[in-house]
């Protein structure tokens, strides 16, 4: 008897809860239809292997949105940022974008941060006709498919790998007068391999010779055997297009083995951890390309750095700066679209022109990539020194 009663009350409770749930869900639905907020999804690596990148990019985006909301919102509406964590995995990245679009009904998605995770989401966004901005993915395949066609709903707010490869090959051949090079690539990353390809092509076009290409894997600790082999070939420069964690160890071990040649890299090097891992002295005579320099004298860059410091009490990393750029680019597009209709936002994004963002001025080209300058930085006693700014040549 007692038990029966208990079951009864449990059932009614469950029914009651379900009804309440329906009621609330209904509410949510109405809210989205005629609300005074614009829903934007953010799909980032907040946990997992590259959580460092994802969370910093998200910080940048949050700052851009906070500034817009504090200034009264966009078109009179507040921006509501809905964040999803993709755990640094491609399959989870696809799930997160699906969830943002179908459950949370967002109008635009920002992220993920890395190329592989980004690539996993582009088809879903295209199918749902929701524009996506890749804030930090530098692989050309993100915006242009294998068939050579531009993906209509996919945009990016940072430069692409070929530009970095070109910049560093040119820097090696012209500024450093290098005749021979060795390449040491991270064979577990598309980013690294595509950069190695471009570098080889450009460096050989400039009259140089790539003596050998060696490979390592993410999370490797010991690089001495391969470095011993590279040392025996005695190249003028060594190009290491990889991420700072492995690069730090490579630089340290290369110097220990007595390799004094300049070491060259790309934006994956640009993290404060690099100097911690490698040590200040081994990093002397290393150069890498990046998106912006904290020493840039440009007023707008300075303004962004100040605002970021005030908000987070630290200097913005490259990922944070690029996240901020993506946020700015989106806010500008929504303003010009005058609505939160995904198709109108898409069109506005396509027409982005001479927009001032955190790291410079961008104009979107026909491939949905921004035309944007790159900088070359030199490491000196553990500090990044602004070496040169290279403006885009194409188009």
Partner 1 sequence: MEFLEQLIQQLINGISLGSIYALIALGYTMVYGIIKLINFAHGDIYMIGAYAGFFATANLGLPFVPALIVSMVVAGLIGMLIERMAYRPLRHAPKIAVLITAIGISLLLEYGGMLLFTPQPRTFPNVLESVTYHMGPFVVNSQQIIILVVSVILMVILTYVVQKTIIGKAMRAVSFDTDAAQLMGIDVDRIISATFGIGSALAAAAGVLVGIYYNSIDPLMGIMPGLKAFVAAVLGGIGIIPGAMAGGVILGVIEALVSGFISSTFRDAAAFAILIIILLFKPSGLFGKNVREKV
Binding site for partner 1 (CB under 8 A): 47-52, 88, 187, 214-217, 219-222, 224-226, 228-229, 231-232, 245, 248-249, 252, 256-258, 273, 276-279
The alpha carbon torsion through 277, 280, 282, 283 (nearest 10 deg) reads 90
Tokens 């790539």 belong to 210
Alpha helices by DSSP H, listed for the chain, are 2-33, 51-70, 90-102, 115-119, 122-128, 161-170, 190-205, 224-233, 244-256, 273-278, 299-312, 318-337, 342-350
Q: How many CB atoms lie within 10 A of CB 381?
A: 10
- The minimum distance between CB 246 and partner 1, in angstroms, equals 9
Alpha-carbon gap, residue 128 to 144, rounded angstroms: 18
Is residue 308 a contact partner of residue 324, using CB atoms and an 8 Å limit? yes
Closer to partner 1 by Cβ: residue 201 or 224: 224
Closer to partner 1 by Cβ: residue 225 or 391: 225
Closer to partner 1 by Cβ: residue 171 or 216: 216
- The minimum distance between CB 317 and partner 1, in angstroms, equals 12
- The minimum distance between CB 221 and partner 1, in angstroms, equals 5
Q: Is 29 exposed, middle or buried (0-12, 13-18, 19+ CB in 10 A)?
A: exposed
β-pair partners for 265: 288
Closer to partner 1 by Cβ: residue 85 or 296: 85
Give residue 62's Cα distance to chain centre: 15
- The minimum distance between CB 342 and partner 1, in angstroms, equals 33
Closer to partner 1 by Cβ: residue 74 or 251: 251
Alpha-carbon gap, residue 350 to 347, rounded angstroms: 5
- The minimum distance between CB 340 and partner 1, in angstroms, equals 34
Closer to partner 1 by Cβ: residue 88 or 290: 88
Q: How many CB atoms lie within 10 A of CB 382?
A: 16
Closer to partner 1 by Cβ: residue 30 or 228: 228
- The minimum distance between CB 109 and partner 1, in angstroms, equals 23
- The minimum distance between CB 326 and partner 1, in angstroms, equals 22
Q: How many CB atoms lie within 10 A of CB 267?
A: 28
C-alpha neighbours within 13 Å on the C-beta side of residue 376: 22
C-alpha pair distances (Å), 283 with each of 23, 27, 101, 214, 292 = 61, 58, 44, 21, 19
- The minimum distance between CB 217 and partner 1, in angstroms, equals 7
- The minimum distance between CB 74 and partner 1, in angstroms, equals 33
The alpha carbon torsion through 240, 242, 243, 249 (nearest 10 deg) reads -40
Closer to partner 1 by Cβ: residue 12 or 228: 228
C-alpha neighbours within 13 Å on the C-beta side of residue 236: 16
């Amino acid at each position: 008897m007692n038990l029966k009663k208990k079951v009864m009350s449990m059932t009614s409770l469950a029914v009651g809860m379900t009804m309440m749930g329906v009621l609330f869900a209904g509410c949510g639905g109405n809210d989205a239809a005629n609300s005074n907020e614009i829903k934007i999804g953010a799909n980032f690596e907040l946990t997992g292997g590259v959580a460092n990148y994802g969370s910093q990019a998200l910080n940048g985006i949050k700052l851009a949105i906070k500034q817009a909301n504090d200034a009264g919102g966009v078109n009179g509406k507040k921006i509501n940022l809905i964040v999803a964590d993709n755990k640094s995995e491609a399959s989870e990245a696809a799930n997160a974008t699906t969830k943002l679009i179908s459950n949370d009904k967002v109008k635009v998605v920002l992220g993920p941060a890395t190329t592989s995770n980004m690539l996993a989401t582009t088809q879903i966004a295209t199918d749902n006709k929701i524009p996506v901005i890749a804030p930090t993915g530098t692989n050309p395949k993100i915006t242009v498919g294998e068939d050579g066609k531009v993906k209509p709903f996919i945009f990016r707010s940072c430069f692409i790998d070929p530009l970095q490869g070109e910049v560093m090959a040119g820097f090696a051949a012209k500024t450093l007068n290098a005749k021979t090079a060795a390449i040491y690539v991270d064979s577990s990353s598309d980013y690294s391999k595509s950069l190695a390809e471009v570098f080889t092509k450009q460096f050989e076009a400039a009259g140089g010779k790539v003596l050998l290409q060696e490979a390592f894997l993410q999370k490797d600790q010991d690089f001495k055997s391969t470095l011993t082999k590279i040392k025996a070939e005695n190249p003028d420069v060594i190009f290491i297009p990889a991420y700072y964690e492995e690069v730090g160890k490579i630089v340290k071990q290369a110097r220990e083995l007595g390799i004094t040649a300049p070491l060259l890299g790309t934006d994956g090097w640009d993290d404060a951890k690099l100097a911690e891992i490698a040590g200040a002295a081994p990093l002397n005579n290393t150069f890498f390309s990046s998106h912006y320099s904290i020493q840039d004298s440009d007023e707008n860059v300075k303004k962004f750095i100040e605002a970021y410091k005030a908000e987070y009490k630290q200097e913005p990393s490259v990922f944070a700066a690029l996240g901020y750029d993506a946020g700015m680019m989106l806010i500008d597009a929504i303003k010009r679209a005058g609505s939160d209709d995904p198709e109108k936002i898409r069109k506005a994004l396509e027409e982005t022109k001479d927009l001032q963002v955190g790291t410079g001025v961008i104009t979107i080209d026909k491939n949905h990539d921004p035309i944007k300058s790159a900088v070359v930085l030199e490491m000196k006693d553990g500090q990044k020194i602004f070496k040169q700014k290279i403006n885009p040549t194409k188009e």
